[in-house]
Structure 1
Amino acid sequence: MEAAMAMLTGRRVLLAGLGAGMLARPARARTRYVFDQNVGRLEFVARHLGVLSSTGRFEDFSSELFIDPERPLTTSVQVTVRTAAVALAYPGAVELLRSPDFFDVERHPEATFRGAATGEGSLARFPLAGDLTIRGITRPFRMEGRLLDRRRDAALGREVADFSAGGEMKRSEFGMTAEQAAISDTIRLNVRVRLIV
C-alpha cells in the first residue's frame, strides 16, 4: 500500500511539472487532440494593389495534434481543409477563389498541411516545419507557433490553452498566378485554436 501511495504521489509531482507540456499521460505517450472550425480559426491575408489587405477564412477544416508531454516542442500536426468552404467579404471573391485559377475546387477539393515543431525555441515561440499541399502541389512550409494563454475555465472545470501559428506562402508556387497586378503573391496563413487540456 505504501509503495502504491508513493508511486501515485510521484506521478502527481511529474504531472504537475508538465505544465508547459500540457498533458496528463505517462512518459512517452502521445496524446491526440482533434479540433476544427468550432474551436479554431484558419485565416489567410492578402495585399491588394500594394495598399489594401483582405482577410478570408476557411469554414470547414479538421486538424489533429499529437503531443508528447516530455517533448512538447516536437508536437506534430495534420490539417485538412475543404477548399470550397472559403469565405471572403468581397463581391465575387468566393467564386474567384473556387475557380480553376485559384483553388480549383472541382479538381482539388482539399488542401493539407503535415508538419511538426522542430524542437527549437520555447512554447512562447517555436518553429513548425512541414509540407503544404494546394492544388495537388506540395511545397515545404514553415510557421511560427505560440502558446498565447493557459488557464482554468470555470464553466468547463478544465484547463484550456490558446495557441496560434502563422507563416507566409507564395501562391505562384502552387500554380495560382491569376490577378497578379491586383493580388499579392505572398499570402499569410494564420491559425488560432483553443484546446481543452
Structure 2
Amino acid sequence: MKKLALALAFTLGASVANAADYIIDTKGAHASINFKIQHLGYSWLTGRFNDFSGEFSYEEGEPKVSKVNVTVKTASIDSNHAERDKHLRGDDFLDVKKYPEATFVSTNVTHDGDDEMTIIGDLTLHGVTRSVSIDAHKVGEGKDPWGGYRAGFAGETHIALKDFGIDYDLGPASTEVKLMLHIEGVKQ
C-alpha cells in the first residue's frame, strides 16, 4: 500500500512539474484586458487597462495543474477620454493612489469540454478580495515564427462594483462591469 501511495504521489508530482509556464506577452501587445459598463443605461462605455503583467501555467488535458497570476496597474485605465479617465482614477472609482494595483490569482481551473474551461480565483480590486469565475476558452497554441511556443486564451467575467467597495451611482443599469480578457503567453 505504501508503494502505491508513493507511486501515486510521484505521478501527481510529475504532472505538476510538467505544466508549461508562460509569460503573458504584453511587450508585443498580444494581450489585453478590456471592460465595458453601461453609461446611465443609454449606451456602453468601453475601455481597457494598458499596463499589466502576469504568467500562467498550462498543460493540455490537465486543468488541475493550470494556474494564472496577473497584476494590473490601475492608473493605466484608458476609456479614450482624458477627463473621464481622471475621474475613474479618483476616489469615486479606482482610487489609484491608495490602490495602485489590482491582482488576480487563480485557485482552481476546471475543464468544461473542447477547449472550454472555468477559471476561479481571487480578484483584489480597490482593496477588496473576492472570488470570481472566468468563463474561458483556448484560442490556440503552437510554434511562433521566432522559434518560440505560444498559447492563447480568451475569457469573460462580470463583477459588481459594490462588491469591491465602489458605490458611485451611475444608475441601476450601471452596477456591473463586464471584463473581456485576451491573453497570449510565450512558453518559458
TM bucket (normalised to shorter chain) is 0.7 to 0.9
- Does residue 137 in structure 1 map to residue 125 in structure 2? no
Distance in 2 of aligned mates of 1:74 and 1:122: 16
1:76 CA displacement: 0.8
Distance in 1 of aligned mates of 2:72 and 2:137: 21
Distance in 1 of aligned mates of 2:183 and 2:134: 15
Structure 1 stretches lacking a partner, 5+ long: 1-25
Q: What's the TM-score once normalised by structure 1's chain length?
A: 0.77
Distance in 2 of aligned mates of 1:73 and 1:183: 37
User: Could you tell me which residue of structure 2 aligns to residue 150 of structure 1?
Assistant: 141
Change (3 A) 1:27 1:73: closer
Distance in 1 of aligned mates of 2:181 and 2:165: 23
Higher helix share: 2
Distance in 1 of aligned mates of 2:176 and 2:186: 33
Distance in 2 of aligned mates of 1:183 and 1:82: 27
Corresponding residue to 1:46 among 34, 37, 42: 37
Instruction: Name the structure, 1 or 2, with higher relative contact order (CA <8 Å, separation 6+).
Output: 2
User: Could you tell me which residue of structure 1 aligns to residue 16 of structure 2?
Assistant: 28
Change (3 A) 1:28 1:177: closer
- Does residue 77 in structure 1 map to residue 68 in structure 2? yes
- Does residue 165 in structure 1 map to residue 155 in structure 2? yes
Change (3 A) 1:54 1:180: closer
Identity of aligned residues (%): 28
Tell me the number of residue pairs that the alignment of Structure 1 and Structure 2 aligns: 171
Distance in 2 of aligned mates of 1:193 and 1:124: 14
Corresponding residue to 2:168 among 172, 178, 188: 178
Q: Are the equivalent residues in 1 in contact too, given 2:107–2:122 (CA < 8 A)?
A: no
Distance in 1 of aligned mates of 2:161 and 2:150: 34
Give the number of the structure whose alpha-carbon radius of gyration is greater: 1
Structure 2 stretches lacking a partner, 5+ long: 1-13
